[in-house]
Amino acid sequence: MSRIDDLFADLRRRQHKAFMPFVTAGDPDLDFTAEVIRELDRRGCSICEVGIPYSDPIADGPVIQASYTRALAKKIKLREILAMLGRVSRDVKMPLVTMVSYAIVYRYGLEKYVAEAKAAGVSGAIVPDLLVEESAQLAAICKQADFNLIQLVTPTTPRDRAVRIAQSSTGFLYYVSVTGITGERTELPPALLENVGWLRTQTQLPICIGFGISQPEHVKLLAPVADGLIVGSAIVRRVADAATKPRPAVLTDVGAYATTLLGALP
């Protein structure tokens, strides 16, 4: 079992849910990214998703797009991100996963990416643009390395296809709560609970919900049907304040926000 498998098994025994923050690697710089990850771990977060900046956003809203643009403008390199994760993974309890475009993994080399990410202490990868029809090779490499391959199901995914995606995923299944891009929202779709409830009948994988979650009310609504909740834009927006505010204050703000959402979980 991977660290992620162990985490969800423990959470289920204790009837707790996972809180999963997202941060962009290298915004405003890699040293501060590492500080943010450590702060989120101290606050009790379960898993940290680390976004690998990419020039062609897949489903990222303006907040995350802007963070990727800022990181790329500094000529950040994948090997530098992995080196940072190798340092910080020794300091934190929570597993780390990368959110990474398949184009990056493919150019880097599938086996090389998995091997180097795992050597850096990373437990898995979310690959949002990997088609299930083309996932077999990477899935096999990940399985051999005990490295989780996490894939996405959306509200518009046909149900037969959603089952195929679940069958080719490991660690957990990422359910996209809304049709569209990432970003903070005041309301979530009324069909969300029904869709996730159906998906739960089709897979034994933990189901974690992301996109649009930013308020304690969202957490309270979704926690009964989800195994974990993913929050990205609201955290990335707060981290971006490091460009104009003292970094200790930004860390405190990010940590306090995470604590507020953690407090809404059962």
Tell me which residues are annotated as active site. Answer: 49, 60
Please check whether residue 190 is in contact with residue 209, taking contact to mean a CB–CB distance below 8 angstroms.
Answer: no
Distance CA 40, CA 259 (A): 9
Buried (b) or exposed (e) across 177-199, using 16+ Cβ within 10 A?
bbeebbbbbeebeeebbebbeeb
Distance CA 266, CA 77 (A): 39
- For 49, the token pair is 């998703």
Query: Could you say which DSSP state residue 243 is in?
Result: G
